[in-house]
Amino acid sequence: MNQEMVAWMKSGHATNWEVLSYLENCISWIKTNTIGRGGIAFSDKQQLVHTNITERLIPLLEHFGEKDLAQQYKRYLNRIPKGGIFDQEVGPKDVDEAITMTKYEESSYLRGLAMLFLLEHSYDISAVEKVLVKDLEAMDKTGIMLDKAVHRILPASLYLYAALCYKIGHFRRGDKLLQTVCALQRKSGGWFGSSRGKPQFDYFNTEEICWANLHFLEAIKAYDEAQRLAFPKSKFGPDEITVLHRIKKSLPPLNEESNTLFIGNEGWKNPLSNAVEGRVKFWSKLAMNIDAESDSFDLVVSVLSMSFGLRPKKMIKELFRVCKPNGLVILIDRNAQKARHFQLMPNEQWFEATKINREVGDYGTADNYYFKVYNVPELYIMWRGTKRPVQVARVSRMRG
């Protein structure tokens, strides 16, 4: 972990800022402004499907656990003819055009798109960083940066620059940009195209545009990926051995043919593989879109993954999706009653046993117990859920 990343982690623990409510509001806006069984509306006032943004939202919706909506968008795009007014891609068409835009384009939005394009096409990261740092000279201490072309704040641009900061390694600057534009989110969960600055320049000043929500999700994804890089592999010490012992005591009968999915830090790879019979697959990314077929695993184990999972309800649903009927899901995470003793990160959540019991109970039987870790009594909670067979789950929902 480099010095910038260490300083970022310390600053994150020292703030009361959080990103989770803004994420939920953003996704709520997308759902509200999805037109029937079609795609995303251009804005809250122009109910025309923006096909390009609809297409670009699909992988992000899948990433954040909105698989049904992503599938709807795919079906819609497959059945409509191409060549519409909103089909065209905004931004550079190739690397040469992107380089030209970073040199001469005044619009911060287009400059941001150009820099991200260059990163995605493996262009020299140091050259992109020079452009980014130069552009960020216009940002004040609060994170406000006016667009040179319209002399107003463009929320979509700030999200692009925040994503760039997280990807390149200017983490605290990324936080400032993200905090600033989060504060501009409206109650609806959307953002006007522009705000503040000189009112004579009109860029959707009173209209909530769909690409602002798109770029917000991109920025949150980049933020989350940067944090996961900060903790690539934790040291497996005595307290982790305590947790592993608890897991082993809770295991169902397994054999060499059993399949286990582990959600969490890769530092657990060897200890867990040695403790569990059969094949073990590890997943260290967000667990709302796991690359596995439904009903694939006899055992699913998640250790401290809900805390930074952004949307734990969606994560629990996904864990039970990949678990076989009558298979076991084990969740281990932090007790919310102990959170007052610790400083939390902006995207961190701790949990109440009864609330997670209710979520687990939607898919199977649920029980839990507390245990001591790091000399703190009841710091961790283990939840166990045995997945109901499909037929039983359906009857249960009908009765409910």
**Residue 207 and residue 263 in one domain:** no
Tokens of 43: 């804005």
Q: Choose among 272, 258, 275: nearest CA to 326.
A: 258
Least confident of 196-200, 314-318, 327-331: 196-200
**Residue 43 and residue 184 in one domain:** yes
User: Helices (DSSP H) in the chain: which residue ranges?
Assistant: 3-13, 20-32, 51-63, 67-79, 95-104, 108-120, 125-135, 155-168, 171-182, 210-230, 238-250, 269-275, 312-322, 353-361, 390-399
Please report, as a single letter, which amino acid is at residue 92: P
Tokens of 239: 């307290």
pLDDT digits (tens, 9 = 90+) for 39-71: 999 999 999 999 999 999 999 999 999 999 999
Q: How confident is the model at residue 400 (pLDDT cuts 50, 70, 90)?
A: very low
Please report, as a single letter, which amino acid is at residue 125: I
**Residue 14 and residue 77 in one domain:** yes
Q: What is the mean pLDDT of residues 11-30?
A: 90
pLDDT digits (tens, 9 = 90+) for 102-145: 999 999 999 999 999 999 999 999 999 999 999 999 998 888 99
Least confident of 74-78, 86-90, 118-122, 378-382: 86-90
Q: What is the mean pLDDT of residues 357-380?
A: 94
Q: What is the mean pLDDT of residues 159-164?
A: 97
**Residue 188 and residue 250 in one domain:** no
Tokens of 237: 């010490």
Using CA atoms, how far apart are residues 121 and 94, in angstroms rounded to an integer?
9
Angle at CA of residue 139, ends 208 and 92, nearest 5° = 60
**Residue 289 and residue 221 in one domain:** no
**Residue 294 and residue 198 in one domain:** no
State the residue range of the domain holding 372. 238-399
- pLDDT of residue 391 exceeding 70, the answer is no
- pLDDT of residue 74 exceeding 90, the answer is yes
Q: Is 5 exposed, middle or buried (CB count within 10 Å of its CB: 0-12, 13-18, 19+)?
A: middle
**Residue 176 and residue 32 in one domain:** yes
**pTM listed for this prediction:** 0.92
Q: Do you know the residue count of the chain? A: 400
Q: How confident is the model at residue 192 (pLDDT cuts 50, 70, 90)?
A: very high
**Residue 218 and residue 248 in one domain:** no
Helices 155-168 & 125-135, crossing angle to 10 degrees? 140
Domain count across the chain: 2
Show which of 202, 230, 258 is a domain's final residue: 230
How confident is the prediction for the chain on average, in pLDDT? 91
**Residue 157 and residue 284 in one domain:** no
Residues 6+ apart with CB under 8 A from 118: 95, 98, 99, 102, 127, 128
**Residue 58 and residue 201 in one domain:** yes
**Residue 247 and residue 214 in one domain:** no
